[in-house]
Amino acid sequence: MIRVLIADDQDLVRGALAALLGSEADIEVVAEVGRGDKVVEAVRANRVDVALLDIEMPGMTGIEAAEQLQAARGMPSCRTVIVTTFGRPGYLRKALAAGVSGFVVKDTPASQLAEAVRRVHRGLRVVDPALAEESLFTPDSPLTGREVEVCRAARGGTGIREIAAELHLSQGTVRNHLSSVIGKTGASNRFEAVTVADQNGWL
> How many percent of the chain have pLDDT more than 70?
93
- The C-alpha atoms of residue 9 and residue 32 are separated, in whole angstroms, by 10
pLDDT higher than 60, residue 13:
yes
What is the per-residue pLDDT across 132-167, written as a single tens digit (0 to 9) for each? 666 655 667 889 999 999 999 998 788 999 999 999
Strands (E), the chain: 2-7, 27-33, 50-53, 79-84, 102-105, 126-127
Angstrom distances, CA of residue 175 to CA of 61, 178, 182: 27, 5, 10
Q: Which pLDDT value is given to residue 147?
A: 94
The string of DSSP letters for 40-81 reads HHHHHHHT-SEEEE-SS-SSS-HHHHHHHHHH-TT----EEE
Q: Which domains does the chain have, with CATH numbers?
A: 2-136 (3.40.50.2300), 145-199 (1.10.10.10)
- The C-alpha atoms of residue 191 and residue 37 are separated, in whole angstroms, by 30
Q: Is the pTM of this model over 0.85?
A: no
